[in-house]
Structure 1
Amino acid sequence: MTEKVLSELLPAAKAIERELIELRRKLHQNPELSLEETETASTVAILLERLGLQVRRDVGGHGIVADLIGRRPGPRIALRADMDALPIQEETELPFASIIPGKMHACGHDAHTSILYGAAKLLTDRKEQLAGSVRFIFQSAEEINAGAKAMIDEGVLKGVDEIYGLHNLPTLSTGKAATRYGSLMGSVDQFELTVSGKGGHGAIPDQCVDPVLAASAIILSLQSAVSREVSPFDPVVVTVGSIHGGTSYNIIPNRVVLSGTVRTFSHNVQEEMPFRLQRIISRTAEAYRCTVELQYKKQVPVLVNHDSHTRNVEEVVDLLLGRENRAEANPVLAGEDFSMYLQHVPGCFFWLGSGPEIGAERAYGLHHPKFTIEEHCLPLGAALLTAISLHRLSKHYETFA
């Protein structure tokens, strides 16, 4: 990527900042949950068509896909953004706050959508500089870990050589970015277990088999799967998030239903966890004379960045934002279905600072009803995704020219 291209990129991104902010605010006011993103997808498709791109609609649900073909042959780079909102009641009191009760863009996917549209616009203006092509992937249903798989099943990665994506981070100041080699985000699994006993009167427990007591013991026993069976160097979280059982204070119920999540940072550990849970819960239930049924669902794998592609992102961040504005990202056990793309093609996922310049560490985090972003991050994100594509494709052109 030439110095001339680089010097023009940030001013060009700043020039479309108002358009990106207006798009983000429109989406923010009208949030749509996973698999409901009809209006969001339609808005994106219309904007991309105005850029002269051929658009595929309803890919893997409401996903949108568009390709920009360069003037010279070369690799195909994919850039991805998610579009869905969350079932959260917004409490920001912003003038463009959600007008849909109980729905909110509390994770910033409205910003991601605007950023990727900005990248599409910037790259379209630089089509002559592309030695290859760029595929823009606007994905639905990330929040329920369904969108990436659905789009992959419909061939969105066909012909793609590498893929990049970003996520805003309100606890990182705007103007900064954070990268990490290897594992960045955790796997996501979901489980539900039904503990069955024999109900009866709470005053006559000897004539009952109490599933509430067994469920309590199971919850405590599950922690041993973390503390005593997995290496302390392999982070694992087992969380029981809901317990449902009983109808009255003086009745022992027939059954109790528990549900929860398992997060890991290792493929091998993720593969082992269903067997660990099955053994622990079945033997604990047996000790309390109960039976138990476990339903275990693997959702997304660990998000593992590829070294050379992470290095590409770091080079671009250093060129565009300055080395002093690039941080090493801490690993987190929150999940992201971008990990599924990385199982098929190499790439990198990174954090884009979206918080205030001072006190970002105290900002409201992702999924909070008062979550918000500094909108100046939008053109920076668009410029970074554009530069990542140009930088990678220019390297290919220089190699084979």
Structure 2
Amino acid sequence: MANIKEVSKKYEGQILEFFKDLHMHPELSFKEFRTTQKIKDLLISLGIEIIDMGIETGVVGLLKGKYDGPTVALRADIDALPILEETDVEYKSTVDGVMHACGHDTHTTSLIGAALILSEIRDELHGNVKFIFQPAEEKNAGAKMLVEAGVMDDVDAIFGLHNHPDVPAGKMGVKLGGLMAAVDTIWIDVYGKGGHGGIPQKTIDPIVATSGVIQGIQTIVSRNISPIDSVVVSIGTIEGGTANNVICEHVHMSGTVRTFSKETREKMPEILSQKVEDIARGYGATGKVTYRFDLPAVINERDMYDLACQSVRDVYGDEGIFDPTPTTGGEDFSIFTEKKPGFFYWLGSGNPEKGCVNQWHSPKFKADTDCLMVGANVLAQTAVNYMLKCTK
């Protein structure tokens, strides 16, 4: 089998220019029309078949190897965020108020690099590669849409990556077990009895009850869930009241619940509802929880972890592997791995010397472009190694 790292050298300049162009022209979820066309044009030029999934944005391409074998999917997300860029890079966003603040341009470019590499060695491939350029990850919608359209029906395994500024550029974060948390959405309503702000004894104040609810749900961890487990309950919005001298009737909140354990995740609606109802009742108010399961956790299983470690070693040796700390941030890559086995890497994009230290969704976020070839090479090597594993 060809040496992936050697094959990729000729594409370094092309890959960097592709990245800069993407970064300068970011597009929001489900509006990635220019990005979609740019990806399509390049894949077609490589002789990669474009699969019609019935979607307006996003691209799915199929590269057929010379020999029979599994179909390996490689996935990248392509959308940007409604954030005004505040970096000093010369390829800064040209779209006012929109930037690649989560580094999806590094993911897309890494997958483009893998397509360039694998298309050159297609006559050595024992199987096929499906390239999934997914729209609308930031809305938690793109993966669900593609799965419903059947993108995983003929896939044997799927691999993906997400840049991380806490992982040094030049390395890949390879984690066994939970990497990113399940993320679910909650809405909490507290109902009271409105009235005059100067006559509170004639009311049931839902704002006071809400303050107790917010404090109380933070005791779920350690009092209802083991402190060794991982649960984060965050309230992101609070709406209630119309005037400073009026006690309102109703307070509405929204937030998220983040977990790693499937068992804990399944328990949370009941635990949260009981806690909210009981606390609200203590103030004479009524509490109600609406709970929506959104994204499962990203969990890397042992067999895929071993394959991932070997793939990084094959290109960069043991020193290319970084053992990262999991995050309770979410990723809809988990929607794909509900259907088929897979693995999710963290692509090292951090470099303090270049100012690549800010976290995702910051207006000052930037990735060290040295990560691009690492991502391309590891994705390509992983696809090859999975094929070889299946043909032994």
The question of a shared fold, defined as TM-score above 0.5 by the shorter chain, is answered with yes
1:211-253 Cα shifts (integer Å, max 9, x gaps):
1001111101111212211112211000111111122222212
Written as runs of structure 1 = structure 2, the 5 A alignment for 1:66-215 is 66-215=61-210
> Number of matched residues?
392
1:379 to 348, 373, 378: 373
Between the aligned partners of 1:61 and 1:231, the Cα distance in structure 2 is 45
Q: CA deviation at 1:349?
A: 0.4
Structure 1 stretch displaced more, 176-185 or 128-137: 176-185
TM-score (norm 2): 0.96
Which sits farther off after the overlay, 37-46 or 363-372?
A: 37-46
Aligned positions of 1:41-80 closer than 5 A: 41-57=36-52, 59=54, 62-80=57-75
Secondary structure at 1:98 match in 2: coil
- Separation in 1 of the partners of 2:168 and 2:353? 7
Alignment of 1:262-301 (within 5 A): 262-301=257-296
Q: What is the alpha-carbon distance in structure 2 between the residues aligned to residue 83 and residue 55 of structure 1?
A: 17
Q: 2:126, 2:352 → 1: CA distance?
A: 37
Deviates more, 1:76-85 or 1:55-64: 55-64
| Matches of 1:36 and 1:227, distance apart in 2 | 43
Residue 385 of structure 2 corresponds to 391
Contact persistence 2:71–2:155 (CA under 8 A): yes
Contact 2:158 2:340 in 1 (8 A): yes
Contact 2:53 2:151 in 1 (8 A): no
AA matched with 1:159: D
RMSD over aligned CA atoms reads 1.7
Judged with a 3 Å threshold, the aligned counterparts in structure 2 of structure 1 residues 93 and 200 are, in CA distance, closer, same or farther, namely: farther
Question: For the residues of structure 1 that align with 2:98 and 2:387, how far apart are their CA atoms?
Answer: 39
- 1:251 aligned partner: 246
**What's the secondary structure of 1:156's corresponding residue?**
coil
Give the C-alpha shift of residue 357 in structure 1.
Answer: 7.0
Distance 1:147 1:171 in 2: 26
CA contact (8 A) 1:59 1:65 kept: no
Q: TM-score, normalised by structure 1?
A: 0.94
SS state at 1:16 partner? helix
**Aligned: 1:368 with 2:362:** yes
Report Cα offsets for 1:374-399 as digits up to 9, x if no partner. Answer: 112111211111111112212333x2
- Give the CA deviation at 1:57: 4.7
1:359 deviates by 8.4
Identify the residue that residue 317 of structure 1 maps to in structure 2. Answer: 312
18, 22, 25: which one aligns with 2:17:
22
Runs of 5+ in structure 1 lacking a partner?
A: none
What is the alpha-carbon distance in structure 2 between the residues aligned to residue 144 and residue 305 of structure 1? 23
- Seen in structure 2, the aligned counterparts of structure 1 residues 357 and 387 have a Cα distance that, compared at 3 Å, is farther
Q: What is the CA-CA distance between 1:60 and the residue it aligns to?
A: 5.3
Residue type matched to 1:230 in 2?
Answer: I
